[in-house]
Structure 1
Amino acid sequence: MTILELREKRNTAWNAAKAFLDSHRTENGTLTAEDDAAYSKMEQHIADLGKEISRLERQEAMEAELSKPVNTPLTSKPATGKQKEEKSGRASDAYKSGMLTALRTNFRKVSDVLQEGVDADGGYLVPEEYDHRLIKTLKDGNIMRHLGHIITTSGEHKINIAATEPAAAWIEEGGALQFSDASFAQILLDAHKLHVAIKVTEELLYDNAFNLENYIIEEFGKALSNAEEDAFLNGTGVGQPLGLFAATGGGQVAGTLTAALKADDLFDLVYALKRPYRKNAAFIMNDRTIALVRKFKDSNGAYIWQPSYQAGEPDKILGYNVYTSEYAPEDAIAFGDYSYYNIGDRGTRSFKQLTELFAGNGMIGFVAKERVDGKLILPEAVQILKLRSE
């Protein structure tokens, strides 16, 4: 008897057992001793059929395994290493290929696979592989993305801050408890739109030998990175992130110099920062300020500047890492724990093509855009030393 026949027989037996049970219950809803014995035999018969079906299924699987050839002949080129994982959505090869084809044909050939990336104003989401590489470009060229805390948001992001802390007080035996009020504040991370536009000649788009992908990633990445770093350091918070050096909402001002910067001023800046923040603190200053600081010596005549001895590691001042940025103001130095600078990143970047604007010049415009915000959520975590204006 085959497995299919046994399954049909078990199904028939099960239906018969249910019908027997429904028709032989007494007024109390139970079975007589004779009917209970008969129903038990039906259940046992169904269980025996199930065991036989399982036995035949295991036998069939074993025969299929043993019938496989010991050596399978090669019918294609042998693969080396891990097999390539099949990707879907914006990460798929089809989406990436569709985007390149659309770019090279001035978006006259837009495959259906790109439709999942259409946004409200006619753009197309960057393929996921491009997006990851573009983010890497932004991190490599943007010190604040390296030092700050990045949060990927889908909407307005609220961060709760303890505005006041409870204070402890001594009381005598049996004295009344003293209660202090604790208040909390909220900082909102929104999303400001940042974009970069470039023009590309039609010849470059139609020339398959030109590495269009890397060109777009590098050019867009550099422009977005520069604009972001400038805003994360100097932004006003109006239509752009609120910068680290902002007069209101930025780091706390540790002091304002009326004379030229000296080594002792850097010591004062370090200890103006509360001890818990000094553990992960670092300096941020302009390149021109660095040229002056590198000449400073301590009371023993040793330079306070400590050059890095390992590639990729930052230089140090007074034992703390120092980062330079051309966008850092020339009249200020920051010292603090920049993990308290929160960057709200919507994550997804998109392309948009401008077909008609430059058509007369034989060129095509492309726009990349992103939405991002940034705020220092704890001003006391960063101290700012204002230098004398020259």
Structure 2
Amino acid sequence: MNKILELREKRAKLWDSTKAFLDSKRGESGLLSAEDTEQYEKMEADVVNLGKEIERLERQAVLDLELSKQTSSAIKSAPNASLEEGKSKISPRAINEYKDAFWKLMRNKNSFEVHNALQVGTDSEGGVLAPDEFERTLIESLEEENIFRQIANIMNTSSGDKKIPIVASKGTASWVEEEGNIPESDDSFGLISIGAYKLVTMLKVSEELLNDSVFNLEKYIAKEFARRIGAREEEAFIIGDGVGKPTGILNATGGAQLGVSAAGSTAITADEVIDLYYSLKSPYRKNAVFIMNDSTVKAIRKLKNGNGDYLWQPSITANAPDTILNKPIRTSAYVPALSSGAKPIAFGDFSYYWIADRQGRSFQRLNELFAATGQIGFKAMQRVDGKLVLPESIKVLQMKA
């Protein structure tokens, strides 16, 4: 942790020197020479690289903490007593028997014991629902790969569409004379339906590797499936059009509201970022977050407010993100860059974006599909949907077309 704090302080000092260099080298026109631009970009790259190193060390610290936890606990009651007392509350997929059977099936289909234990977890499409413990591992990996799951509202549904009631318009109060008629002013309500779109991926593992007892199949599948599913989910949550996939926050229909229209088609100003900030109603600003592309962050690093202060500020606190106007920044490769007609910045309270995970994630071993090449296939499937239930909770900046 001391190393992380040391790097954060080093990055903050480097950023101060970078800003000072930029201010001192600007000419009367406000522009840098080619030589100074090259030097500035090198200094800025050092700031970015330090940020990435800090993120790596923070992830390592989290993993070290997790791996240092004890793997067993002392027996303080009669064997199986707690299991019998709360048997009805325990998910069948949470017991060790199911977990062992699941991974035996993934490694070898010829096990009658496996099929008996997995009866409770067979899904409607021939796959097998992942054990509760493994599903939690996968979800944690998804959150690491998918920034949206860290800031959105996540709920679990068993089946069917989820109906979410929303207030379409609110009533108002009125001034009336003594004994005057009180005007009616009712709230009007609407419904948003969240369904479940199918997201699948498939990977292949050689038979030799699969039969190697040293090979950690569980870890490999969790990491690889999380990378693939997390990337595709994040893309849909940001730019999805709602056709066979979730509706993204930047979609014209069902997405966030327009907060600011930029004057330029490839560049933004500090005033436009500030206008975007205040285009969001103050109750939503309390938990608001900026989401943008890395290239947009790079452009904002050079912008100042009316007092001459830079909008972007590096974090010097462990596990805290960098900020713009004192609000956290999250970056995603799926947010468009600064280009004509694009929406490069979203700002708002993303807890009003609801992600619905339906049932559990299921896995299926495919023995014959790749038999000719000596490989075994594994298919992962999940059903998920996402929608912004309150469009006014997120505002976007749109570039001039």
Common topology (TM > 0.5): yes
Distance 2:130 2:73 in 1: 29
Counterpart in the other structure of 2:296: 289
Distance 1:342 1:80, change over 3 A: closer
Distance 1:239 1:83, change over 3 A: farther
Counterpart in the other structure of 1:356: 368
Structure 2 segments unaligned to the other structure (5+ residues): 1-70, 77-81, 84-89
Distance 2:386 2:216 in 1: 33
Counterpart in the other structure of 1:5: none
1:374 to 349, 372, 386: 386
SS at match of 2:330: strand
2:319 to 291, 299, 312: 312
Question: Which one-letter code corresponds to 1:375 in the other structure?
Answer: K
| Contact 1:231 1:240 (C-alpha < 8 Å) held by counterparts | yes
Distance 2:249 2:74 in 1: 45
Counterpart in the other structure of 2:75: 83
Distance 1:271 1:352, change over 3 A: same
1:183 aligns with 2:188: yes
Q: Deviation of residue 228 (structure 1)?
A: 0.7
Distance 1:88 1:229, change over 3 A: closer
Distance 1:152 1:103 in 2: 26
Distance 1:249 1:234 in 2: 11
1:301 aligns with 2:308: yes
| Contact 1:103 1:205 (C-alpha < 8 Å) held by counterparts | no
Counterpart in the other structure of 1:333: 345
Would you identify which runs of 4 or more consecutive aligned residues in structure 1 move more than 3 Å?
Answer: 79-88
Counterpart in the other structure of 2:263: 258
Distance 1:171 1:91 in 2: 62
SS at match of 2:360: coil
Question: Which one-letter code corresponds to 2:205 in the other structure?
Answer: V
Instruction: Map residues 110-259 of structure 1 onto 2, 5 A cutoff.
Output: 110=112, 111=114, 112-154=116-158, 155-259=160-264
Number of residue pairs matched by the alignment:
310
1:99 aligns with 2:91: no
Aligned-residue Cα RMSD (Å) equals 1.8
Question: Which one-letter code corresponds to 1:345 in the other structure?
Answer: D
Distance 1:80 1:184 in 2: 51
Counterpart in the other structure of 2:397: 385
Q: Deviation of residue 356 (structure 1)?
A: 1.6
Q: Deviation of residue 149 (structure 1)?
A: 0.7
1:322 aligns with 2:324: no
| Contact 2:236 2:246 (C-alpha < 8 Å) held by counterparts | yes
Counterpart in the other structure of 2:42: none
| TM-score, reference length from structure 1 | 0.76
SS at match of 1:119: coil
Distance 1:353 1:211 in 2: 16
Q: Deviation of residue 294 (structure 1)?
A: 1.2
1:288-335, CA deviations, whole angstroms, 9 ceiling, x for partnerless residues? Answer: 111111111223332111111123211100111111011112232001
Distance 2:169 2:125 in 1: 45
Identity, in percent, stands at 47
| Contact 1:165 1:182 (C-alpha < 8 Å) held by counterparts | yes
SS at match of 1:244: coil
1:326-370, CA deviations, whole angstroms, 9 ceiling, x for partnerless residues? Answer: 111223200111111011111410101222211100011111111
| Contact 1:99 1:127 (C-alpha < 8 Å) held by counterparts | yes
Q: Deviation of residue 88 (structure 1)?
A: 6.4
Q: Deviation of residue 244 (structure 1)?
A: 0.7
Instruction: Map residues 54-65 of structure 1 onto 2, 5 A cutoff.
Output: none
Distance 2:231 2:204 in 1: 19
Counterpart in the other structure of 1:39: none
Question: Which one-letter code corresponds to 1:379 in the other structure?
Answer: P
Structure 1 segments unaligned to the other structure (5+ residues): 1-78
SS at match of 1:222: helix
Distance 1:187 1:301, change over 3 A: same
| TM-score, reference length from structure 2 | 0.74
Distance 1:136 1:210 in 2: 21
Question: Which one-letter code corresponds to 1:140 in the other structure?
Answer: E
Distance 1:311 1:203 in 2: 43
